[in-house]
């Protein structure tokens, strides 16, 4: 004869035992500004990098590719020795997990991807400039041009396109200018069409 | 005996201060005094008052040799009767032997001599089975006598030598003694040429190299097109250089580009297996097409200094490897590497091209050859057993146990922590294994046991109980002083490696015993200590058995160790060690390269090896129907149909001048000065080294002949005045003819009809010179290779001279017998040795006159087997 109270007792016990595991497996999502998507092919590189970090289960890029939302298991970001310590004081502070995410992404990509504080913006707020550059067939060269510009104060977004061969940047005109960016490119020996080179300060 | 040593030098002049004997005087009067008298003194010789004194030994030796060879009386004069000739030669012979014996009363033929530094290095290498241990260059350079450093007169020793021997022994023991219970981890790494920083620079910005994928330009890293890739550091972070693509290289090494595989440097001394995959191609403005043939990649060992940064590191060549057209060819070999050594490479067969300068770094405007490397795989260290032989010969099977380096009760050895010296290398050292050392519970018994095994092998002969006792006593002293067992044993092993028993050839007076014979045989044909089989035969007193000795000679000749004999003997006999003594003028000889120079040496060594292998006769020294060539030499010599860098036998048409030592590029380079040739040094070389008839040195106040590089006059014209002088004519009549014949060849051994000049002259055709090499030299006067031998025979060119020289194979064979004898016995051939040499030559001639037979007969002769 099955006693109903025995079934209830087993169920409660099972749930109690499973509850910490459910609590431990709680995923979180965070959104960051992403440095590194200089051109569309870089998304494949990003995917490869993220696959190297098992704690990250999913990601979403915004349309312009400059912001990313990562879904991850916070505790799994840390080494086993650290996890033991962190488990005593769950949940892990958000700053700590986000800092860890930044470190992991930077290290895995040798600093060709970086997570920065989210700063969504509307393109209408900023000035869009285009600087033609000589065609660059090498993806590392395209990234190099991007890297010279993307972190300049006043540049909120930068992209390299191949057809046409352009550097496109959205800038805060009070902090930088077309001429200033052109000078940076010239100083770095980025190959520019003749008229652009002539226009460089 | 001591009395004789003191008194004889005093009375010796009196003993043989005699007038010329009654048998000789009439001969002189009849045949010699007409020219060689007090008034005329032709050739500087006055026979009228000549006495047989010790200071006239050389004069009477010359007189004897001139008469015996028929050169005196001179052609045209009445010839002495046979019996008369025999009488005077017998008298002279007796005098000369007596004079020589009195001069060296009871001295053995070969005085005590130490190991040369090459012998020393080989001996230590073979003793410990560490074939790549670098010791030679740590020791002071040896002197040489008549070109041979094995000559006992050359082998002095000083406190500097001893200090260096101590250092060398310490290094050998450091490498030999195991310091951990398990072998270092065997690691396998795949390395690309792009691991090297400077290769990356070429790929990224200068155009000297390119990535290739599936035998095409790699689309992920396009070649530079006048623009460099931007930011090399970023490309590195992007991982652009960590690719499976092949690396095609166009740039030849030069003073600013000396590449090596920067992804690997040995940490532990030992054997490493090196594999590589190579191919070649023609780059046609961005397209990869079949190459012009099999190109050559040179691999070398680079000995890194410091952290492996910078470019210039000492190196030595491992070899040249085929890179066939488009189809990859894999190469594999095992090589010893010392800590901090890596593998260098160079596209040796390509002419120097600077895409950066000459093509403005635009590979799309360049058409030319390239060599590609798919990968390098380096694995090791390889140990068949642990601890290895080097440790076991010192400590047998005694266990390694941990020790505390801070313990105070005993002195323990200091340990070197093995670290990777090269930045960016893929292979890493093992975690520090702790402190381990050999330990024993019965140190004195084990010390004696180990020494009784080691010392006879190291000293190449049995060791007396007294000697064993003295070494064992030293161990006891060191243990009493507080050394641990390893340190105590190390102390005596170092002493043994610096003792006369190790450093010197120990040979008893008179007939060599079997141990000394084993050593002499081994140092002759292997340039190193006897192996176990030879030592065993010596211990059983079977080596000198006439049935056993020939077998051992054959065994040694067939073993790869005999390549050391080939290299060392040719290095000294033919002066190949001096191959790099001159740098050919870049304007006159722009086609010269280190690849050509290395090929020259390989040719000479391979040819000598072939003479031995095929037992060819001595006429092949000056004339041959084959040559040992690779493509580089074949092109240089104008011989078609040879492809690739490997040396192989090539049949030549009749009367082709190439092939023998006489016309090999190595010899021709060594006997020139890098800018011009002169018949005098070349003639002197031929007389001395090939014919065995060295000319007298020039008088002290003769000025050098300054060559005319403007091309206005030839060396022959310049020498004409010189040769017509009475005091010079006698020697130059012998020296100049072979030198004139060899004027057919320039300073790098290329054949010529006209002299090259940088001043006046006609435009020169490129011929076989690589199209990428700029030529600016002109063609000057015609070469005149004709001459007349001292006996009146004339020749018009090098081929006719070769015919004449080859006709006297007896002379050539006698010279080879002498050269082998000097090399193998460590002593010049004295007058009293001539009979023995004649006997050896006669036996060889009766068996066909082959050089392999000569080696056999020499080793089995009393000359070889007597100290």
A127 φ, ψ (degrees, to nearest 5): -90, 130
Q: Residue B602: its pLDDT value, please?
A: 98
Residue A11 lies in a domain: no
**How confident is residue B78, by pLDDT bands cut at 50, 70 and 90?**
confident
Collapsing DSSP states into helix, strand and coil, what is residue B469? helix
Instruction: Return all residues near B428 (Cβ < 8 A) that are at least 6 apart.
Output: B187, B267, B420
Encode pLDDT of B628-644 as tens digits.
Answer: 999 999 999 999 999 99
Q: Identify whether residues A188 and A167 lie together within a single domain.
A: yes
Q: Identify whether residues A35 and A101 lie together within a single domain.
A: yes
CB B282 within 8 A of CB B368: yes
Task: Tell me how many helices (H) and strands (E) chain A has.
Answer: 7, 7
Q: Residue B294: its pLDDT value, please?
A: 97
Q: Identify whether residues A104 and A164 lie together within a single domain.
A: no
Residue A4 lies in a domain: no
Q: Residue B700: its pLDDT value, please?
A: 74
Encode pLDDT of B572-594 as tens digits.
Answer: 999 999 999 999 999 999 999 99
Residue A103 lies in a domain: yes
**B352 pLDDT more than 80:** yes
**B54 pLDDT more than 90:** no
Residue A34 lies in a domain: yes
Residue A5 lies in a domain: no
Residue A16 lies in a domain: no
Q: In what order do the strands lie in the sheet with B778-782?
A: B754-757, B778-782, B762-763
Q: Residue B195: its pLDDT value, please?
A: 87
Interchain CB distance below 8 Å, B230 and A111: no
Average pLDDT (B564-574) is: 98
Residue A158 lies in a domain: yes
Average pLDDT, chain B: 91
Q: Residue B330: its pLDDT value, please?
A: 98
Task: Tell me how many helices (H) and strands (E) chain B has.
Answer: 29, 22
For residue B66, give the nearest of B20, B100, B31 by alpha carbon. Answer: B31
Q: How far is B189 from chain A (nearest CA, A)?
A: 22
Q: B205 to chain A: nearest residue by CA?
A: A141
CB B461 within 8 A of CB B518: no
- CA B759 to chain centroid, in Å, comes to 37
Q: How far is A7 from chain B (nearest CA, A)?
A: 56
Q: Identify whether residues A53 and A31 lie together within a single domain.
A: yes
CA distance B543 to B522: 12
| Residue of B229, B231, B237 lying closest to A110 (CB–CB) | B237
CA distance B246 to B279: 10
Residues of B in contact with A189 (CB under 8 A): 230
Q: Residue B33: its pLDDT value, please?
A: 80
- Taking the Cβ of residue A191 and every Cβ of chain B, the question of whether any pair is shorter than 8 Å is answered with yes
Q: Note which residues in 17-46 of chain A have CB less than 8 A from chain B.
A: none
Does residue A165 or residue B8 have the better pLDDT? A165
**Which helix (H) or strand (E) segment is B828 a member of?**
none
Q: Residue A22: its pLDDT value, please?
A: 40
- Taking the Cβ of residue A143 and every Cβ of chain B, the question of whether any pair is shorter than 8 Å is answered with yes
- Compute how many other C-beta atoms are within 10 angstroms of the C-beta atom of residue A115: 22
Q: Identify whether residues A111 and A128 lie together within a single domain.
A: no
Average pLDDT (B221-227) is: 87
Q: A141 to chain B: nearest residue by CA?
A: B230
Average pLDDT (B213-234) is: 89
Q: B204 to chain A: nearest residue by CA?
A: A141
Encode pLDDT of B791-828 as tens digits.
Answer: 889 999 999 999 999 999 999 999 999 999 999 999 99
Number of compact structural domains in chain A: 2
**How confident is residue B66, by pLDDT bands cut at 50, 70 and 90?**
confident
Q: Identify whether residues A94 and A70 lie together within a single domain.
A: yes
Residue with tokens 């290289």: B249
Q: Residue A21: its pLDDT value, please?
A: 43
**Which helix (H) or strand (E) segment is B794 a member of?**
strand B794-795
Residues of B in contact with A190 (CB under 8 A): 230
CB B31 within 8 A of CB B81: no
**How confident is residue B59, by pLDDT bands cut at 50, 70 and 90?**
confident
CA distance B471 to B455: 9
- Among chain B, residues having any CB pair with chain A shorter than 8 Å are 219-222, 227, 229-231, 234-235, 237-240
**B221 pLDDT more than 50:** yes
Residue A30 lies in a domain: yes
Q: Residue B84: its pLDDT value, please?
A: 85
Look up the domain containing A57 and give its range: 25-117
Encode pLDDT of B396-405 as tens digits.
Answer: 999 999 999 8
Does residue B707 or residue B664 have the better pLDDT? B664
| Residue of B220, B222, B230 lying closest to A144 (CB–CB) | B230
What are the residue ranges spanned by the domains of chain B? 2-103, 187-382, 389-503, 578-807, 810-865
Residues of A in contact with B235 (CB under 8 A): 140-141, 144
Interchain CB distance below 8 Å, A189 and B240: no
Q: Identify whether residues A105 and A37 lie together within a single domain.
A: yes
Instruction: Give pLDDT < 70 ranges for chain A.
Output: 1-3, 9-25, 196-201
Average pLDDT (B441-452) is: 97
Structure tokens of B408?
A: 């105070």
Q: Residue B362: its pLDDT value, please?
A: 92
Q: B235 to chain A: nearest residue by CA?
A: A140
Encode pLDDT of B254-308 as tens digits.
Answer: 988 999 998 899 999 999 999 999 999 999 999 999 999 999 999 999 998 877 6
Least confident stretch, B9-23, B329-343, B547-561? B9-23
Q: Residue B713: its pLDDT value, please?
A: 63
Q: How far is A11 from chain B (nearest CA, A)?
A: 52
H helices of B219-262, in order, are 232-237
Residues of A in contact with B220 (CB under 8 A): 138-139
Encode pLDDT of B138-188 as tens digits.
Answer: 999 999 998 899 998 889 899 999 999 999 999 999 999 999 999 999 999
Q: A42 to chain B: nearest residue by CA?
A: B238
Total residue count of chain A as it appears in this document: 201
Q: Note which residues in 144-183 of chain A have CB less than 8 A from chain B.
A: 144-145, 147
Report in angstroms the alpha-carbon separations of B409 from B404, B473, B535: 10, 21, 42
Residues of A in contact with B227 (CB under 8 A): 134, 191
| Domain B187-382, CATH | 2.60.120.260
Encode pLDDT of B668-715 as tens digits.
Answer: 999 999 998 999 999 999 999 999 999 887 777 766 666 555 555 666
Q: How many CB pairs under 8 A join A and B?
A: 44
- Taking the Cβ of residue A189 and every Cβ of chain B, the question of whether any pair is shorter than 8 Å is answered with yes
Residue A74: give its domain's CATH number: 3.30.70.100
β B436-438/B400-402 pair status: antiparallel
- Taking the Cβ of residue A136 and every Cβ of chain B, the question of whether any pair is shorter than 8 Å is answered with yes
Average pLDDT (B488-498) is: 98
| Residue of A136, A140, A189 lying closest to B235 (CB–CB) | A140
Q: Residue B768: its pLDDT value, please?
A: 92
Handedness of CA B268, B270, B275, B280 (dihedral sign): positive
Residue with tokens 């201060």: B17
Q: Identify whether residues A77 and A153 lie together within a single domain.
A: no
Structure tokens of B688?
A: 């001395």
């Amino acid at each position: 004869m099955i006693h109903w109270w025995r079934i209830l007792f087993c169920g409660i016990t099972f749930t109690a035992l499973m509850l910490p595991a459910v609590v431990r497996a709680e995923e979180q999502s965070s959104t960051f500004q992403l440095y590194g998507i200089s051109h569309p092919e870089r998304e494949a590189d990003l995917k490869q990098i993220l696959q190297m970090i098992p704690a990250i289960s999913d990601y979403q890029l915004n349309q312009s590719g400059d912001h990313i939302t990562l879904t991850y298991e916070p505790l799994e970001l840390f080494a086993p020795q650290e996890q033991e310590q962190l488990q005593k004081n769950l949940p892990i502070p958000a700053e700590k997990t986000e800092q860890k995410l930044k470190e992991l992404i930077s290290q895995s990509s040798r600093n060709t991807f970086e997570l920065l504080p989210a700063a969504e913006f509307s393109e209408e707020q900023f000035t869009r400039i285009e600087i033609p550059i000589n065609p660059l067939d090498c993806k590392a060269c395209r990234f190099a041009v991007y890297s010279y510009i993307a972190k300049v104060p006043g540049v909120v977004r930068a992209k390299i396109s191949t057809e046409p061969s352009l550097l496109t940047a959205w800038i805060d005109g009070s902090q930088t200018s077309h001429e200033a960016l052109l000078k940076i490119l010239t100083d770095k020996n980025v190959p520019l069409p003749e008229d652009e080179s002539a226009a460089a300060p | 005996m001591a009395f004789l040593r003191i008194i004889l030098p005093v009375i010796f002049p009196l003993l043989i201060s005699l007038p010329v004997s009654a048998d000789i005087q009439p001969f002189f009067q009849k045949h010699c005094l007409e020219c060689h008298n007090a008034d005329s003194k032709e050739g500087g010789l006055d026979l009228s008052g000549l006495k047989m004194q010790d200071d006239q030994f050389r004069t009477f030796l010359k007189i004897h040799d001139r008469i015996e060879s028929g050169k005196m009386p001179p052609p045209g004069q009445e010839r002495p009767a046979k019996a008369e000739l025999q009488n005077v030669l017998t008298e002279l012979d007796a005098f000369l032997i007596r004079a020589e014996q009195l001069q060296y009363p009871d001295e053995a033929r070969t005085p005590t001599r130490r190991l040369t530094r090459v012998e020393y290095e080989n001996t230590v290498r073979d003793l410990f089975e560490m074939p790549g241990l670098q010791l030679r260059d740590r020791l002071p350079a040896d002197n040489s006598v008549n070109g041979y450093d094995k000559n006992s007169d050359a082998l002095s020793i000083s406190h500097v030598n001893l200090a260096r021997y101590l250092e060398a022994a310490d290094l050998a023991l450091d490498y030999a003694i195991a310091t951990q219970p398990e072998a270092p981890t065997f690691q396998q790494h795949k390395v690309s040429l792009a691991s090297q920083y400077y290769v990356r620079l070429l790929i990224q910005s200068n155009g000297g190299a390119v990535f290739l994928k599936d035998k095409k330009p790699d689309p992920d890293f396009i070649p530079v097109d006048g623009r460099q890739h931007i930011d090399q550091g970023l490309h590195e972070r992007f991982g652009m250089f960590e690719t499976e693509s092949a690396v095609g290289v166009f740039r030849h090494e030069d003073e600013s580009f000396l590449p090596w595989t920067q992804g690997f440097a040995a940490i532990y001394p030992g054997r490493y297996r090196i594999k590589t995959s190579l191919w070649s191609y023609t780059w046609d403005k961005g397209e990869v097409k079949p190459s012009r043939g099999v190109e050559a990649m040179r691999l070398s060992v680079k000995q890194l200094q410091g952290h492996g940064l910078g470019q210039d590191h000492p190196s030595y060549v491992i070899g040249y490897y085929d890179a066939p057209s488009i189809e990859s060819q894999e190469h594999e070999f095992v090589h010893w590497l010392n800590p901090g050594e890596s593998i260098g490479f160079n596209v040796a067969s390509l002419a120097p091209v600077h895409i950066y300068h000459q093509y403005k770094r635009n590979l799309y405007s360049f058409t030319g050859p390239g060599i590609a490397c798919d990968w390098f795989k380096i694995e090791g260290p390889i140990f068949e057993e642990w601890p290895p032989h080097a440790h076991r010969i010192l400590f047998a099977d005694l266990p390694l146990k941990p020790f505390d380096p801070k313990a105070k009760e005993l002195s323990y050895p200091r340990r070197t922590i093995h670290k990777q010296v090269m930045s960016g290398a893929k292979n890493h050292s093992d975690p520090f294994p702790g402190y381990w050392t050999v330990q024993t519970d019965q140190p004195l018994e084990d010390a004696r046991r180990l020494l009784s095994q080691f010392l006879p092998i190291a000293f190449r002969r049995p060791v007396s109980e007294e000697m064993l006792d003295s070494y064992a006593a030293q161990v006891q002293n060191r243990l009493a002083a507080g050394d641990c067992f390893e340190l105590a044993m190390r102390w005596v092993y170092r002493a043994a490696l610096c003792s006369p028993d190790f450093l010197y050839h120990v040979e008893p007076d008179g007939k060599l015993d079997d141990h000394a014979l084993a050593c002499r045989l081994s140092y002759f044909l292997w340039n190193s200590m006897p192996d176990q089989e030879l030592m065993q035969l010596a211990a059983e007193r079977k080596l000198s058995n006439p049935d056993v000795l020939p077998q051992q000679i054959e065994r040694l000749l067939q073993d790869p160790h005999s390549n050391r004999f080939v290299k060392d003997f040719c290095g000294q006999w033919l002066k190949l060690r001096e191959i790099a003594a001159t740098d050919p003028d870049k304007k006159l000889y722009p086609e010269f390269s280190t690849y050509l120079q290395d090929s020259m040496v390989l040719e000479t060594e391979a040819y000598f090896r072939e003479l031995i292998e095929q037992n060819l006769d001595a006429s092949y020294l000056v004339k041959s129907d084959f040559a040992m060539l690779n493509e580089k030499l074949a092109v240089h010599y104008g011989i078609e149909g040879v492809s690739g860098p490997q040396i192989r036998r090539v049949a030549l048409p009749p009367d082709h001048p190439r092939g023998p030592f006489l016309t090999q590029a190595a010899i021709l380079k060594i006997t020139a000065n890098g800018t011009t040739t002169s018949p005098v040094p070349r003639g002197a070389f031929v007389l001395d080294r090939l014919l065995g008839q060295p000319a007298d040195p020039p008088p002290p106040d003769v000025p050098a002949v300054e060559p005319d590089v403007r091309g206005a006059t030839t060396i022959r014209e310049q020498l004409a005045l010189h040769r017509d002088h009475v005091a010079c004519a006698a020697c130059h009549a012998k020296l100049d003819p072979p030198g004139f014949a060899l004027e057919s060849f320039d300073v790098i051994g290329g054949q010529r009809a006209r002299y090259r000049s940088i001043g006046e002259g006609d435009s020169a055709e490129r011929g076989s010179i690589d199209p990428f090499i700029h030529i600016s030299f002109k063609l000057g006067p015609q070469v005149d290779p004709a001459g007349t031998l001292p006996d009146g025979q004339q020749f018009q060119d090098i081929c006719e001279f070769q015919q004449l020289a080859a006709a006297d194979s007896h002379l050539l064979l006698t010279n080879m017998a002498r050269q082998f004898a000097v090399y193998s016995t460590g002593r010049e051939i004295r007058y009293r040795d001539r009979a023995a040499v004649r006997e050896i030559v006669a036996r060889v001639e009766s068996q066909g006159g082959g050089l392999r037979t000569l080696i056999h007969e020499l080793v089995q002769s009393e000359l070889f087997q007597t100290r």
